[in-house]
Each structure stands twice: as C-alpha cells, then as structure tokens.
Structure 1
Amino acid sequence: MAFIDHHDVFVGSTTDGHTFIALNRSLPAAHRILTRNGFTAREHQDRTLYLLPPTSAPEAHDRTGQVLHELLPHTMDFADLSWTTRWMDSGPLPQTGAHIDLSDGRVTATADTDVAREVLEQHGFQRTPTGYALPGEIGERERVGIVVRAEIHLWALGHGVEVSLGFPTPDAISPAPSRVSAPAPSHPPQPAMSKRHTR
C-alpha cells in the first residue's frame, strides 16, 4: 500500500500543481459532491482519482474545503497533505519552517528553525545525519497521522510546512491497493482524524 491508501479521504498535491482526492471507500454522494465542486473523475491504475487542475491557491482552497465540508456527514477520516490548497484570507502564508518528504516510502524531514526542530521531535521524528526521520517500524497510517498532527502544530505556531508526496504528475500516483503486493498492516486501525483547516 501507499501513504494515500489509509484514510477514507486523502487530499494531496502533485508537483505540477494538481490537487487530487483519493477515496478509499465508497461514500454516499461523494462523486456528485466532488464533480459539483470542479473535480474531474479519472480512472488510474484501478483507482478513481478526483483531480482539480492547477489553479489559484484561493480557488483550490475554497473548492477543496467545500468538498470536505460536504463529506463530513459521511466520514471524518480525512488526511490532507496538499500544498496547492494552502491559503489564508487574513494575509500571506507563514514562512516555511519545515519540509517533510514522503516520496520514497519513508518519512523524512528538515527543519529551518529551532521551533520546527522542537515540534518535529515532540511528534516522534528522530535526528539523522541529514535532518529527521520517523522510525520505519511505525505503520504507514500512523506515520501519515504524525505528519498531519505535526503540520497542524507548526501552523498553530505560525510556521508553514512543505510536504512532498513524490508524485510529479497525476500519472505517477500509486496504483490502487489491489494492484500492490503488500502485507496487511500489523497495527489496529487508528481513530478517525480530520485535518487542520486554514479554510
């Protein structure tokens, strides 16, 4: 499996600026909600992805926020690690304090400030010669949850976070789990979580 496969709704961004939403279980009215808000359904390697083409941050922010709001009656199991939707109507985004990379199956990070270093360590990132990393024995779903919580924490302290998922274009997004040979997760499902909102 891949990091995008563990939550009912995963929101991410490709390097070329697409916002994508992967649904990992059937949700009533999800197709209608997503397409009404400007996302286009696309079949890709046995999964249906919903894509929003590169657009302005305010538009991506508003459209994605509306989708998540309308999906709330059906699930609260969201993970949002998109960078294309980051926008604040109260002013410019905070300066980036940390960079988190999930592109190679591991979770690594670098920190630009003492505050960012402290937050990463509080959330379980361990020092490495090149920055920080989450221990490999932690399951994928838990690692996504840690990244989400660390990002929320840093935003609350006025530090922006850059998250890379390693998908240059929508064509590079991972196949659906049925196409991937991987052992079943050894940990029990974690409680549902909803992403922080600057929306």
Structure 2
Amino acid sequence: MALTDHHDVFIGSTDDGYTFAVLNTRLTAAHRLLIDAGFTARERPGRTVYLLPPGQTSEDTHNRTGSALYGLLAHTMDFVDLSWTTRRHESGRLPKPDAHIRFSDHRVTATVRSQAARAILEQHAFRPAGSGYALPRSMSEREKVGAVAQAETHMSVHGLRVKVSLGIATPSDIPPAPGRTRAPAPPTRAVTPRHRRP
C-alpha cells in the first residue's frame, strides 16, 4: 500500500503545488462535495483523484479544502490532511517552515529550524538522525502517517510552520489504488492468422 491508502480520505500536496484528495472508500456525496468546493476529478488506475490547481491564494485553498472536509465529516472521521498548500500564510513567497518533514523510500525524515519544533517532533516518535530527525523504521506506514499528522497539528497549534513533502512530484505521480500498477490496456481485436499460399 502507498501512504495515501491508509485512511478513508487522504488530503495532500504535490511538489508542484496541487492540492489533492484521495478517497479510499465509497462515501455518500463525496464527489459532489469535492466538486462543489472547486476540485476537479481526474481518473487514476482504480480510483478518482480530486485536484485543486496551484495559483490560488493559500486562504482560498484552505477554505475550499476545509469546506469539502467539513462535509465529508458527516460520513467519516477517518481522514488525514498532510497538505502544505492549504496552510494559510501572507501573500508572496511561502515562508520557511520551522519543520520540513519528508516521506521518501519508506522513510520519514525531518529538518527543523527551532528548538520548539525539535521538542514537538520528539514527543511524536521522531528521533535524532544525522543532521535532523527520523521516525523509526520499525513503525508501520500507517503509524508513520499518523505520527506526522499529529506532529504537524501540534506544531500548528503553537504557531509553528510545517511543510510535509510526500515525495509526489506531480498529480500523475499520485499512487494508483492498491493492487493497480497502471491503467488497464485497451481491448484489442482478435486477429485471425492468415495462411499464405505458396
């Protein structure tokens, strides 16, 4: 399974600035809620992915995503939001985060710029590793996603800026549904072999 597959709803951001929503279970009215909030649907192998393009203000992206999630809460409480594009900030360049958490090759690492961010990461299972922090390799992927979500929320409550990089460069890199590695091949017509006369 991919890190996007462990919750009914997964909200994230691609490296190129798209906000996306992945639904891992059928939820009544989910399609309408996301479309009404301004997301567009894009088919991926085995699933539909919902996208908000970059170029909007962080406040607009925050409000659109929040509106969709508020409606989805009537159908599930099993969701995670690790998107950096929905975090409000002043106009202009995205400020440097106090903590930058990265998913890569089944590892989760973090770099920090403040003692407050260090203390919070350590409360959520992160341990010193090299020049930053990392979650233990022994944790399951779902546990890692949960630890990152808790640490991100904890830091946000204290006014610390966090960026979570999921290792998903563009919308086309969003993992397909579990067990699906690519789109099914288009059907081909059966060809009857012809025998040539000598």
What TM-score results when the alignment is normalised by the length of structure 1?
Answer: 0.84
- Correspondence for 1:139: 140
Contact kept? 2:58, 2:89, Cα under 8 Å? no
Displacement of 1:143: 0.9
- Correspondence for 1:33: 33
Identity of aligned residues (%): 57
Q: Does 2:154 match 1:153?
A: yes
Secondary structure, aligned partner of 1:135: coil
Aligned pairs, number? 178
Q: Deviations over 1:65-103 (max 9, x none)?
A: 0000011110011100001111169xxx98621110013
- Correspondence for 1:10: 10
- Correspondence for 1:102: 103
Contact kept? 1:94, 1:159, Cα under 8 Å? no
Displacement of 1:132: 0.9
Displacement of 1:36: 1.3
Q: Does 2:105 match 1:82?
A: no
- Correspondence for 1:191: none
Q: Take 1:132 and 1:76, find their aligned partners in 2: how far apart are those partners?
A: 29
Displacement of 1:153: 1.1
Secondary structure, aligned partner of 1:118: helix
Secondary structure, aligned partner of 2:65: helix
Query: Which AA in structure 2 matches 1:62?
Result: N
- Correspondence for 2:74: 73
Q: Take 1:94 and 1:166, find their aligned partners in 2: how far apart are those partners?
A: 20
Q: Take 1:175 and 1:97, find their aligned partners in 2: how far apart are those partners?
A: 32
Q: Take 2:167 and 2:173, find their aligned partners in 1: how far apart are those partners?
A: 8
Which structure is larger by alpha-carbon Rg, 1 or 2? 2
Displacement of 1:145: 0.8
Contact kept? 1:2, 1:105, Cα under 8 Å? no
**Aligned-residue RMSD, C-alpha:** 1.8
What TM-score results when the alignment is normalised by the length of structure 2?
Answer: 0.85
Contact kept? 2:89, 2:95, Cα under 8 Å? no
Runs ≥4 in structure 1, deviation > 3 angstroms? Answer: none
- Correspondence for 1:21: 21
Contact kept? 1:18, 1:170, Cα under 8 Å? yes
Q: Deviations over 1:130-151 (max 9, x none)?
A: 3111111111111111101101
Q: Take 1:25 and 1:19, find their aligned partners in 2: how far apart are those partners?
A: 19
Query: Which AA in structure 2 matches 1:68?
Result: L
Q: Take 1:143 and 1:68, find their aligned partners in 2: how far apart are those partners?
A: 22
Q: 36-45 vs 18-27, which deviates more?
A: 36-45
- Correspondence for 2:130: 129
Query: Which AA in structure 1 matches 2:123?
Result: Q
**Distance 1:94-1:159 versus aligned 2 partners, 3 A rule:** farther
Displacement of 1:120: 0.8
